[in-house]
Structure 1
Amino acid sequence: MAAVLRVPGEDELPQGPRRRFALDVYDLYKKARRPTLDAIVATFAEIQEDLRGTASKETARRILVGKTVPRRWETAEALIEALAHLAEVDLDWRDDPEGQTSRERLQDRWDWALETLPNHEEPSSNYNHWYAPTWTTKAEAKARAAERAEQEAQERYRRANFSSGWESGAPF
């Protein structure tokens, strides 16, 4: 039986950019219902044409438990993409208060984690804003997009049919 993957405590992985990146990736892992490492590697093969990189089973494990931050974004993105595929999460949905997609937010966190050595102060840039991830499933993204399209169509109809006469003072 495979060991359960857990993010280490703050004594092993202190607060800071590396922990934030690890926690975000781990949160996506939980959203995917904690797949086995073999399932994650199988997903790499399944979605290979969509990936620009890949990761070994050991690399995936080390990223998930916060032991490493990959040097190449393509490696981190492969794991993130595989987990998102398993969780049916849309990484390109703009879902945070600053209008970033989940992919952009994770890439920023990866970049920050890679540039910041453990136990160093956090930079004073926009990276100080930390939002808990809100993973939007592909079905939710599709429903929201359809809802927006419907609202926009209703607004266009309303403007075309009801705003030209009475607002200008013309009789009905």
Structure 2
Amino acid sequence: MRQPIELPPLSLLPPSPLRALVETLHGLYQQADKPPLRAIDEWIVAHPEHDGAISRESIRRLLVGINVPRRWESARSVFLALCALAGANPDEHARTFRRQWQEVVADPMAARRPYSTP
């Protein structure tokens, strides 16, 4: 049985712009009943108009705050997929998500954290 992706503890991902971005995505992920990466990927593939190709591994790495896509379209596709799967209106969260993404990618060190396990 697959394990859902959990929000990293504060010890691994302390308060920061990266954590805020990951928390926003996790709110949607939880609203969508923690779908498998396959479901997120399938939604993205079914909506090529967003030009947001991203691998399942990159989706996972984004959800655990290991790194953030440098391409807005890729990050936006994950966001839109989670909104759709959660039945959430993306317009309600889009401005916040875009601002958070911009804050993270503006600082190359903030867009990545070293991978470690609890």
TM bucket (normalised to shorter chain) is 0.7 to 0.9
Structure 2 Cα separation of the partners of residues 66 and 23 of structure 1: 9
Structure 2 Cα separation of the partners of residues 82 and 20 of structure 1: 19
Contact kept? 2:44, 2:52, Cα under 8 Å: no
Q: RCO higher in 1 or 2 (8 Å CA, sep ≥ 6)?
A: 2
Contact kept? 1:47, 1:82, Cα under 8 Å: no
Corresponding residue of 2:4: 4
Q: TM-score when scaled to structure 1?
A: 0.60
Letter in 1 for 2:80: E
Contact kept? 1:31, 1:87, Cα under 8 Å: yes
Q: CA deviation at 1:103?
A: 0.8
Structure 2 Cα separation of the partners of residues 62 and 79 of structure 1: 12
Q: TM-score when scaled to structure 2?
A: 0.85
| 2:104 paired with 1:113 | yes
Contact kept? 1:60, 1:79, Cα under 8 Å: yes
Q: CA deviation at 1:17?
A: 0.4
Structure showing greater radius of gyration is 1
Structure 1 residue ranges (4+ consecutive) displaced by more than 6 angstroms after TM superposition: none
The size of the alignment, in residue pairs, is 109
Letter in 2 for 1:63: L
Letter in 1 for 2:11: D
| CA deviation string 1:60-104 (max 9, x = no partner) | 1011111111111111001001111111211124xxxxxxxx111
| 2:7 paired with 1:13 | no
Letter in 2 for 1:108: R
Structure 2 Cα separation of the partners of residues 11 and 20 of structure 1: 15
Q: CA deviation at 1:26?
A: 1.0
Q: CA deviation at 1:12?
A: 1.2
Q: Percent identity?
A: 32
Structure 2 Cα separation of the partners of residues 48 and 31 of structure 1: 24
CA RMSD of aligned residues (A): 1.3
Gaps of 5+ in 2: 111-118
SS of the equivalent of 1:92 reads: helix
Corresponding residue of 1:30: 30
Letter in 2 for 1:104: R
Corresponding residue of 2:61: 62
Letter in 2 for 1:12: L
Gaps of 5+ in 1: 94-101, 119-172
SS of the equivalent of 1:15 reads: coil
